[in-house]
């Protein structure tokens, strides 16, 4: 008999639980993790950049009141610096004006896959060094090399750009922006 030691929640213990402090108001609290999931090109990176800048500047986020700035560590494995500068300008931000604010932006850092001992250790050391309130990984599929990606047929699991067979009804899943040529041809056919 298998025993995984599941323990049901003791409802009376919930009376002792204190509310946690928000990191992204109305969205993410201290000690929580979250994922922003959508099709390629939907604006996930742009949204997280906008939220990160606002948090680091102490501005309103998603309509919530402004508050004290927090340190945001942004690990970007997706967007070249030229794209970053362009996005900031389109947001009405002069990139140089972010200097001195607690937005710690790392563009394509030399970081081993996070699902390895070296990657986990490196990230833990860097997080301890910079003490961020929030860490944004853009995009997580480029920061892991797990077995799940190898099973999907990715050529390079760290890049996370494999093509899956069409789903029900013959509709293929969305393509990653840096996907293989076969994905490019699917994207053009849409």
Let me know if residue 186 belongs to a domain: no
Let me know if residue 159 belongs to a domain: no
Counting the structural domains of the chain, the total is 1
Give the domain range for residue 96: 42-144
- Residue 126 is part of a domain; what is its CATH number? 3.40.50.300
Let me know if residue 14 belongs to a domain: no
Q: Which of the 8 DSSP states describes residue 54?
A: H
Let me know if residue 160 belongs to a domain: no
Closest CA to 114 of 103, 126, 104: 126
Q: Could you give phi then psi for residue 101, rounded to 5 degrees?
A: -100, 155
Q: Which of the 8 DSSP states describes residue 114?
A: T
pLDDT digits (tens, 9 = 90+) for 100-145: 999 999 999 999 999 999 999 999 999 999 999 999 999 888 889 8
Beta strand pairing call for 134-138 and 28-29: unpaired
Q: Which of the 8 DSSP states describes residue 137?
A: E
Let me know if residue 114 belongs to a domain: yes
Let me know if residue 157 belongs to a domain: no
Q: Which of the 8 DSSP states describes residue 134?
A: E
pLDDT digits (tens, 9 = 90+) for 43-93: 999 999 999 999 999 999 999 999 999 999 999 999 899 999 999 999 999
Which of the four pLDDT bands, split at 50, 70 and 90, describes residue 19? confident
Let me know if residue 173 belongs to a domain: no
Which of the four pLDDT bands, split at 50, 70 and 90, describes residue 147? low
For the entire predicted model, the pTM comes to 0.70
Determine if the peptide bond prior to 139 is cis (ω within 30°).
yes
What pLDDT is stored for residue 1 in this prediction?
Answer: 64
What pLDDT is stored for residue 124 in this prediction?
Answer: 94
């Amino acid at each position: 008999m298998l025993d995984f030691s599941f323990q049901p929640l003791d409802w009376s213990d919930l009376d002792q639980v204190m509310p946690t402090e928000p990191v992204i108001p109305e969205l993410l609290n201290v000690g929580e993790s979250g994922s922003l999931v959508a099709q390629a090109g939907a604006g996930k990176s742009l949204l997280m950049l906008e939220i990160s800048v606002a948090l680091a500047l102490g501005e309103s986020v998603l309509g919530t009141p402004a508050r004290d700035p927090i340190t945001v560590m942004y690990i970007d494995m997706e967007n070249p610096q030229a794209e970053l500068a362009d996005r900031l300008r389109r947001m009405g931000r002069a990139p140089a004006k972010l200097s001195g604010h607690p937005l710690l932006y790392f563009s394509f850092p030399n970081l081993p896959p996070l699902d390895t001992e070296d990657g986990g250790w490196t990230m833990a050391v860097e997080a301890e060094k910079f003490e961020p309130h929030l860490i944004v990984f853009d995009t997580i599929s480029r920061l892991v090399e797990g077995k799940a990606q190898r099973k999907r047929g990715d050529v390079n699991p760290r890049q996370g750009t494999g093509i899956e067979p069409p789903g029900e009804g013959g509709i293929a899943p969305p393509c990653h922006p840096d996907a293989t040529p076969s994905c490019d041809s699917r994207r053009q056919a849409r």
